[in-house]
């Protein structure tokens, strides 16, 4: 047990992590993104009014301040680090992290148990965090992107390969376009044709979409189905809405195929059925986000396939860098 705890602590300390830049980011100390990532400096300057431009240029990754995190945990919960029952302490520490992440207690207990079983959980997490930071960036009603965030490696979808498109102005980031092609080729081999109906949307375009929804259905309904500008995953350039973009999609063979296979290619269903109170949006059977193969596996293995919980956890984890 002591060995396991030691391994977890070491892994925590050697963690090199990056985070995406949020419009509501609070901490100027942590680098928002790695140097390679395409966050415009002005986007960072909106983050709490501080710019991360200098840290983004630095190749030095910051380490999580575990001592401070444990101190905060002890202060908030009354748990004592030198408690003779170390397993209970570490388990409580994990559950505290999951609690901070808004993970329901029943799931938090399960994930904490996985984390305590051995180093696999942390190892899998570290592997997932090696990907482009925007693949694990939480973007939702509480965590908007800067309105002027625009990926700089968008490519046009031609639909000339294994999938079809419903309009010729669709764009995705390069990594997502490639992953879509790979997934569509596998689907085609199974006799399934995937059709992309919507992909990247700028904040300005999202504003038009949202305003149209409000005009048609009223604000309350619009907010269940459509994101306000800055709060849409589509702005990441990592999301595809498969066609038809309505509930009829759930009954298609393409939908059934995606539910079984998408994660193998790094895609994850963002707004599953019955999760509106968690994701903030009604079930969208057609909306898949590219998160990378490792994170997709991580979501399935530890978070029961719920992308939202995994991304909330990653955000809370990164905030350990106090």
Binding site for Zn ion (CB under 5 A): 241, 287
Between 173 and 287, CB nearer to Zn ion = 287
- The residues, ordered by sequence, that sit 6+ positions from 23 with a Cβ below 8 Å of its Cβ are 43, 46, 47, 144, 145, 146, 147, 230
Nearest residue to Zn ion by CB is 287
| Residue number, 231 or 287, with CB nearest to Zn ion | 287
Q: What CA dihedral angle connects 300, 304, 308 and 314, to 10 degrees?
A: -70
Q: Which is nearer to Zn ion, 22 or 287 (CB)?
A: 287
* Min dist. Cβ of residue 111 to Zn ion (A): 27
CB of 13 to Zn ion, least distance (A): 38
Order of strands across the sheet with 195-198? 164-165, 195-198, 239-242, 287-290, 267-269
Q: Please tell me what DSSP assigns to residue 196.
A: E
Q: For residues 92 and 241, which CB has a smaller minimum distance to Zn ion in the complex?
A: 241
Separation CA 113–CA 120 (nearest Å): 12
Q: Counting Cβ atoms within 10 Å, is residue 277 exposed (0-12), middle (13-18) or buried (19+)?
A: exposed
> Residue 131 or residue 241: which is nearer to Zn ion going by CB?
241
CA atoms of 277 and 312, how far apart (whole Å): 14
Q: How far is the CB of 259 from Zn ion (least distance, A)?
A: 16
Minimum distance from residue 289 beta carbon to Zn ion (Å): 9
What's the closest the beta carbon of residue 30 comes to Zn ion, in angstroms? Answer: 29
Q: What are phi and psi for residue 197, nearest 5 degrees?
A: -110, -20
């Amino acid at each position: 047990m002591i060995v396991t705890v030691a391994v977890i602590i070491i892994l925590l300390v050697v963690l090199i992590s990056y985070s995406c830049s949020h419009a509501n980011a609070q901490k100027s100390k942590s680098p928002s993104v790695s140097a390679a990532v395409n966050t415009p400096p002005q986007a960072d300057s909106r983050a709490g009014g501080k710019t991360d431009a200098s840290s983004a240029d630095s190749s030095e990754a910051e380490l999580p301040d575990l001592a401070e995190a444990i101190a905060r945990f002890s202060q908030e919960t009354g748990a004592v680090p030198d408690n003779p029952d170390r397993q209970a302490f570490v388990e409580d520490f994990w559950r505290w992290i999951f609690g901070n992440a808004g993970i329901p207690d029943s799931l938090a207990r399960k994930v904490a148990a996985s984390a305590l079983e051995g180093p696999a959980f942390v190892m899998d997490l570290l592997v997932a965090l090696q990907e482009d930071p925007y693949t694990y960036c939480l973007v939702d009603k509480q965590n908007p992107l800067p309105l002027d965030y625009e990926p700089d490696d968008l490519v046009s979808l031609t639909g000339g390969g294994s999938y079809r498109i419903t309009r010729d102005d669709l764009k995705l980031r390069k990594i997502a376009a490639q992953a879509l092609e790979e997934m569509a080729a596998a689907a085609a081999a199974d006799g399934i044709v995937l059709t992309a109906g919507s992909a990247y949307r700028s904040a300005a375009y999202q504003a038009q979409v949202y305003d149209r929804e409000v005009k048609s259905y009223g604000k309350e309904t619009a907010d269940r189905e459509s994101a306000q500008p800055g709060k849409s995953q589509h702005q990441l350039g990592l999301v595809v809405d498969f066609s038809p973009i309505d509930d009829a999609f759930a009954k298609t063979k393409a939908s059934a195929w995606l539910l079984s296979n998408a994660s193998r290619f790094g895609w994850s269903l963002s707004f599953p059925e019955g999760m509106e109170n968690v994701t903030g949006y009604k079930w969208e059977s057609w909306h898949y986000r590219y998160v990378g193969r490792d994170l997709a596996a991580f979501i399935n293995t530890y978070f029961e396939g719920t992308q939202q919980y995994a991304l909330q956890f990653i955000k809370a984890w990164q905030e350990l860098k106090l």
